[in-house]
Structure 1
Amino acid sequence: MNIVNFKEIKPKIMYYGTPTLLLTTLNEDGSTNISPMSSSWALGDCIVLGIGLGGKAIENLKRHKECVINLPSPNLWRNVERISSFTGIREIPDYKKEIGFTFKKDKYQAAELTPLKSKTVLPTRIKECPIQIEAVVKDIRIPEYNSLFAIVETQVLHFHAAENIVQNENYINPVEWSPLIYNFRHYFGLGREIGKTFRSET
């Protein structure tokens, strides 16, 4: 019998292995902002997002309650990382400046990704992402115990998937599709580590 000893630690981040997503939201001028995220869960047609306050994503969603949840495959980790230290907010909050964030309006260009017109929502989809989910915001809540993030409930309107990962008309083939996993600041896909983020820890 193997005996395992445990140690209490205090990690700076709690991303213990969650899918990475690229959230697209609508800017004031009609352009689209891209926000890399790794806090979400889905149940039925409801997808809940954990979004940091003080960023462009939450600002946009409060004003225009539409978004696209784009799920990148592991081969896109470098594209995700290219925009991980950019914000769409011109007046960058001090705490973001301290961890290295800079302003970037055109994140499509910075990430080397391609916008694709959505079916019904105004924010664009990301062509390179094998799964793109158009959604509307149903509720935004800020927890009383933590004023650093918002819990955003969305309802799925349209689910787009690349044909090569679809089987039997309406099912995702788990052999052909693998999400990009963010695991304690490291990117994983297909069961192995593929990269590490260089973004400063929050």
Structure 2
Amino acid sequence: MHIDSQPSILYFGTPVVLISTKNQNHTDNLAPMSSIFWLGWRCIIGLAAASKTTQNLIHTGECVLNLPSVHQAGAVDFLAKTTGSNPVPPGKVQKGYRYHEDKFSLAGLNKQASETVQAPRVQECPVQMEAVVEAVHGLADGDAEMRGKILTFELLIKRVYLDESILLDGHPNRVDPNKWKPLIMSFQQFYGLGEQVHSSTLAQIPEHLYNTPDREKAINRAALTPML
């Protein structure tokens, strides 16, 4: 039986992302989040307006979206209540956040140079996506109490890196969902994916039919980029 319910949060399960950005003093920031979804080679993310990552995205217009697997859950948890903002915003003080300048070292993660953006990739993450900001929108702009507190960013993916361990055998451009075990956040707890529960009719559609102009442009730009 369903009942009328009022949960404080509606985090029913989304992948965890470590967003790396450049601070204005040219140091690196790394922040976990899970408010994200993809459409083609674009995605939408939601962030608190006062966060350091938000400020960096507005200032630099770029980032790296690093997707951890279940094996990086401990490292992600080290970052859970840290912020690159100093002083710590009042809302985060109330939740027990603390300022930490070098979050890569704190989490025991290594930096890997990016090719199309300045922010570094996280070496340990099986999926890394370099991205640029295409648009910024306010959330709940029609509500006087909420206006200006949350921003959504439209990001365009410029380059994708996949660890060979998660690729479909013989297909360098396809992820094997039986090998890829993303870290999932559900109601503030970490989970992984279980076994496949049912065959999917959508899987009958060849993946190349989902190609978008964004992907083709990224491939062409990569081909024209000289090797360093």
TM-score by length of 2: 0.80
Q: Which has the higher strand share?
A: 1
Q: 1:77 aligns with which of 73, 77, 96?
A: 73
Whole-Å separation in 1 of the counterparts to 2:13 and 2:90: 29
CA contact (8 A) 2:184 2:193 kept: no
Structure 2 portions without partners, runs of 5+: 196-228
Listed as ranges, the matches of 1:35-184 within 5 Å are 35-143=31-139, 144=141, 145=143, 146-147=146-147, 148-167=149-168, 168-184=171-187
Q: In structure 1, the residue corresponding to 2:172 is in which secondary structure?
A: coil
Runs of 4+ with >3 A deviation:
none
State the shift of 1:62 in Å: 0.8
Whole-Å separation in 1 of the counterparts to 2:4 and 2:75: 35
Whole-Å separation in 2 of the counterparts to 1:179 and 1:69: 13
Letter in 1 for 2:151: A
The structure whose RCO (Cα within 8 Å, separation 6+) is larger is 1
- 1:27 paired residue number: 23
State the shift of 1:128 in Å: 0.4
Whole-Å separation in 1 of the counterparts to 2:155 and 2:132: 5
Q: In structure 2, the residue corresponding to 1:28 is in which secondary structure?
A: coil
Letter in 1 for 2:167: V
State the shift of 1:157 in Å: 0.3
Letter in 1 for 2:178: V
Q: 1:15 aligns with which of 11, 18, 24?
A: 11
State the shift of 1:191 in Å: 2.4
Whole-Å separation in 1 of the counterparts to 2:18 and 2:4: 32
Q: Which has the higher helix share?
A: 2
Letter in 2 for 1:88: G
State the shift of 1:96 in Å: 1.0
TM-score by length of 1: 0.90
Letter in 1 for 2:156: Q
Whole-Å separation in 2 of the counterparts to 1:169 and 1:177: 14
1:97-125 residue CA offsets vs partner (Å, 9 max, x unmatched) = 01101100100011111110001100000
CA contact (8 A) 2:19 2:30 kept: yes
Whole-Å separation in 2 of the counterparts to 1:100 and 1:130: 30
- 1:190 paired residue number: 193
Letter in 2 for 1:24: S
CA RMSD of aligned residues (A): 1.2
CA contact (8 A) 1:31 1:123 kept: no
- 1:195 paired residue number: none
1:151-190 residue CA offsets vs partner (Å, 9 max, x unmatched) = 1000000000001112212100111101100011111013
State the shift of 1:75 in Å: 1.3
Letter in 2 for 1:132: Q
